[in-house]
Amino acid sequence: MEPSRGLSAPPGRALGAPIAGLALLAAGVVALPQLTRDSYYLDVATTILMNLALTMSLRLQVSTGQLNMAHISFMGIGAYASALLVTRVGISFWAALPIAAVVAALLAFPIGGLALRVTGPYYFLITFAFSEVVRLFFNNFFVDLFGGPSGLVGIPKPSALPWFGRALTFTTKLELYTLMAALLLVTAAVLVRLEHSRFGLVASAIRQGDLLAETLGVNVFRYKLTAYVVGSLVAGVAGAFFAHSHQVLHSSDFGLEPMVLLVVFTVIGGTGSVWGPVAGTVLMTIAGELLRELHHYESLVFGVVLILTMLWAPDGLVALPGKLARRRRVGVSLAP
């Protein structure tokens, strides 16, 4: 039994807001290379775009009320899968990219199916344990294949792509930025469409009360598993790009610290909106670059910001404009 057809997105929610948000995101992505061609800034911007794909897909899973601590592991699975397909099997990056994403999604299906049978701390522990198992597997097993502690090196950059009689190359910082920008915009369009659809409404209902949603006929497990698999597929895409843009992989790239950073970016931005991770990722990645010289204190600063956000803006930075507007309206209405 499925939820009633009355649970559908109104026209304004389904069309206007997401189109405006995507247009603003696309404008920002296109404008940045026009402002600077400095390799450092392009590298930071490319990292931001990749983190956006990861945090937006993580937020899709959080939208059903579950925090997947193994999200970074599926990025690693996609990265190693793409790197090995290109270096060992000999296929092109463009064939390896979708295969790596599908591999991550296929592995997410049984892992999600197991983890989502439980809730609360048990779900957290299962996903965290899986993340550590994946990291240790890449680090300690099949060293000749995965590179072991020394890492997997010699990964080529994305191969040239035929395009209307010419070849598009992806070797420079600007070209890699352009590739990641295209992947992000496609990803964002899919995730925003899901958010402003019946799926997004049902996911929100599950997050607010999964038992109540189940009594109304919602197949809660199916929705949670779908969000888990789709989010992991996006992480696999980001991982494939990471492997070929950095050209070297280490198991530590997909460990606890980068996973915690993804959670911090997502929570600080706000999990109640698909645009929350965008705000959190952009601001905190830039802050991380500014604090690079204070590397030992970076985690401390992020922790303080997270605590302050939870105290003063529990819905995240993206909800602050609405709160300030409501307070202003209340102040005007109470004025003599």
How far is it, in rounded angstroms, from Cα 69 to Cα 162? 38
Q: List the structure tokens of 182.
A: 């295209």
* CB contact at 8 A, 53 and 238: yes
What DSSP assignment string belongs to 175-203?
Answer: HHHHHHHHHHHHHHHHHHHHHTSHHHHHH
**Residue 153 DSSP SS3:** strand
Q: Among positive and negative, which fits the CA dihedral 141, 143, 146, 149?
A: positive
Return per-residue pLDDT of the chain as tens, 336 residues: 444 444 544 444 445 667 888 999 999 999 988 888 889 999 999 999 999 999 999 999 999 988 899 999 999 999 999 999 999 999 999 999 999 999 999 999 999 999 999 888 899 899 999 999 999 999 999 999 999 988 999 999 999 988 887 888 999 999 999 999 999 999 999 999 999 899 999 998 998 888 888 888 899 999 999 999 999 999 999 999 999 999 999 999 999 889 988 999 999 998 888 899 999 999 888 888 887 777 677 777 777 888 888 888 778 888 777 776 676 766 555 555
Helices of type H across 196-275: 198-208, 210-215, 220-246, 256-269
The pLDDT tens digits for 238-255 are: 999 999 999 999 999 999
How long, in residues, is the chain? 336
> Rounded to an integer, what distance in angstroms lies between the CA atom of residue 283 and that of residue 266?
11
The DSSP result for 64-90, as a single string, is TT---TTHHHHHHHHHHHHHHIIIII-
pLDDT single digits (tens) 258-276? 998 899 999 999 888 889 9
Distance CA 182, CA 111 (A): 29
Token digits of residue 297: 């204190």
Closest Cα to residue 171, out of 91, 247, 250, 86? 247
Contact between 302 and 261 under an 8 Å Cβ cutoff? The reply is yes
